[in-house]
A = this chain, B = another copy of it.
Amino acid sequence: MADTEILMAAIRCESNRIDAAMHADLDELAVTMDGLLTEILRYGLFNGGKRLRPLLVVLAARLCGRSDPAVYNLARAFEYLHAATLMHDDVIDNAETRRGRPSVYKKFGLVAAILAGDFLHARSMAIVGELAGTEALSVFSEATGRIVDGEFLQMRNAADLNLLEEDYQRAILGKTGHLIAAACEIGVIWAGRGTEERNALRTYGTHLGCAFQIIDDLLDYQGEKGKTGKAAGNDLVEGKMTLPLILAVHQADQEDRRRLQEILADAAHRRCAFAEVSRLIEKYNGFSISRRKAEEAATAALSQLDVFPDKAGGQEKAILQGLVKYVLEREK
């Protein structure tokens, strides 16, 4: 318990520094920028986000021996890109809320959500190119391309009863894993370290991202709205085939499978079948197997950290280990 508290205090401290770097950037931009755009960016960026991606840049860089504060200027690019994808996601998913508040889309409208996302997207790439060089930019833009690819995959996968676990894995890699991996890798590049460290931290990030997304998808069924800030069951309403559901569909007997098919095929059905689908997932251990898969990903992430001696980056290594645990245990 004390360990968790120390971890959370360290994370809070880093988050504050990342936020400060973003505030400084926006203040500077505000001088020449349309006032409404500034307001939207502030609203979209400062919303109680966990700052996981920029935090990973900071930790990776420091673990690799570079610890000057300019890392926060680089790190903010990852929160910008993340926020940009959320703004566009909210349009795509027609989402009413984001972290318990109206989404940028609902508060400021379609035009604002698209354009502010575009602005942050451009800004994030410019920062990475300028501060970390073109090799880092190439890793970063590759991740962006993969996010889009993952979204297409998810769209194509919607309500598809024959979806395989591999399809799900590819979609969550695109949606979450690649950018988290890129955050780790670009921290290493920025610190000027070589292939071994790059591979290790990129792989750490990939597994961490997968664990993160599986837990996210579990929380969509099992989370409490008071904690997650969103109503449970969104994914089902949208026909998203997440891991618990995929596992249940594959294990289900003929009758249950037919029933799931019936529900999934019809948007109106999906809206009122949350309890029933949850029961069916439970019946076929979809939740417990999903959690086990998240734990396996977490273990794989942890093992990558062996490359780094405990001494070298004592605190950073401990935080990276702690983050894995945190991702598994989080309730929001």
Contacts and interface: CB of A to CB of B under 8 A. Distances in A.
B148 A137 contact: no
Copies of this chain held together in the complex: 2
Contacts of A102: none
B130 A138 contact: yes
Contacts of A14: none
B148 A115 contact: yes
A111 B149 contact: no
A141 B115 contact: no
Contact of A123 (B116, B129, B145): B145
A27 to B, nearest CB: 16
Contacts of A119: 144-145, 148-149
Contact of A156 (B34, B116, B133, B138): B34
A88 interface: yes
A115 B37 CA distance: 21
Nearest to A34: B152
Contacts of A155: 111
A122 B121 contact: yes
In terms of DSSP, what is the predominant structure of the interface of chain A? helix
A114 B114 contact: yes
A156 B85 CA distance: 24
Contacts of A151: 111, 115
Contact of A125 (B117, B141, B149): B141
16 contacts: A34-B152, A36-B156, A37-B149, A88-B118, A91-B114, A92-B111, A92-B115, A116-B148, A118-B121, A118-B148, A119-B144, A122-B141, A125-B129, A126-B138, A126-B140, A137-B137
Rank and list the top 3 A-B pairs by shortest CB-CB distance, nearest first.
A126-B141, A122-B144, A34-B152
Given A34-B152, A115-B152, 12 more contacts: A32-B149, A33-B149, A34-B153, A114-B114, A115-B151, A118-B144, A119-B144, A119-B148, A121-B122, A125-B129, A129-B138, A133-B134
